[in-house]
Amino acid sequence: MAFLSQLQERKAAAHAIVKAGGTIGYRDDGRTGLSRFLSWPRSALDAAFFHVDSVLLPRDCEEGDTLMAAIRPLKETRALGLLDSQVTDQGLQCLADWEQLSVLLAMGAPLSTQGLLGARWLARINDLEVGDTQVDDSIWPLLESNGQLVELGIGGTRIRELQHLARHPHLRSICINALPVACDELASFPCSAKLTELSINHTPADNRTFRSLAKIPNLVNLAAGNTAITDQACESLASLAKLEELIINDTQISNEGIRLLSAAPNLRFLCITKTHATPAAVDILAGYPALKTAFLDARILEHLSPQQRLDLPFDAVPFKAEEC
């Protein structure tokens, strides 16, 4: 009877998710971990018998807290998506006894650190994305016992103390977009050897920050749009031997900075829209050793004929300010 009761709970949980427009992924082969994305009515029955791998709520889901209570029986879930949902602290706490969760995508949900209190899964979470929530610095003590955090997104939150990042040496991806932290805090950014992706858009990062970032040996992707970067910082960035993607739109970069960046041996993607670059920048970019795509202001490309654009050794993508 206990098995039948559990079966009914799992079926009801899956039914609630897909009825609300959400998605369930499950593993039907324990050896390969194969995942499938399902739609009602199959998913409710499948979730009753197979291990649920992921649950994704629809955006702007108003019954978020109710659904959190409903899916509590699906404790083997490893990935939970709550992007722009209406799940609150109360709803997330319904899942505090889950232990297998390794990915939480909760950007834009009305959550605070309160919703994470007592969560067993915090000790093993690999990817925690809580950008644009009310999470603050009280989250750091909750993550102290986590030695396997790989991806962390805290942009647009109330977090200000970045020195705690040094306690997570396995981080490969960090997003701190729109955090109004002090320049000194950014200048002493923890330089994890494993860090490959960093997003610091809309922060007060200045040239000192980029001198610090140049010490990150394996950085591949850097998004630093709307920062205080100038040409001086480009020399530091060019020393990043593994840098492949660089976004520095809405900055004070000029042709001189673009020239300095040409020393980056593996730079494949560059976004320099809304900077001080002039049409002469096109010739500089043509000399980049590995460049494949560059986003440029449309005015920079206006003097080129269609054939001249086709002849460029990289894909030049025009950008118009009114398209923002």
Tokens of 270: 């560059």
What residue type is 56 in one-letter code? Answer: L
Q: What superfamily does domain 2-267 belong to in CATH?
A: Ribonuclease Inhibitor (3.80.10.10)
Tell me the pLDDT tens digit for each residue of 28-64.
Answer: 554 433 344 444 345 555 555 567 788 999 888 888 9
What is the rounded CA–CA span in Å between residue 24 and residue 16? 11
Look up the pTM and report it. Answer: 0.89
**Long-range CB contact pairs, 63-70, < 8 A, 24+:** 63/20, 64/88, 64/91, 64/109, 65/90, 65/91, 65/94, 66/16, 66/91, 67/16, 67/17, 67/20, 67/22, 67/91, 68/92, 68/94, 68/95, 69/94, 70/12, 70/13, 70/16, 70/17
Tell me the pLDDT tens digit for each residue of 224-266.
Answer: 999 999 999 999 999 999 999 999 999 999 999 999 999 999 9
Q: How many CA atoms lie within 13 A of 36 on its CB side?
A: 12
What ranges make up the beta strands (E) of 96-238? 103-105, 127-129, 151-153, 173-175, 197-199, 221-223
User: What are the domain boundaries of the chain?
Assistant: 2-267
Q: Taking 50 as the threshold, does the pLDDT of residue 148 lie above it?
A: yes
Tell me the pLDDT tens digit for each residue of 265-305.
Answer: 999 999 999 999 999 999 999 999 999 999 999 999 998 99
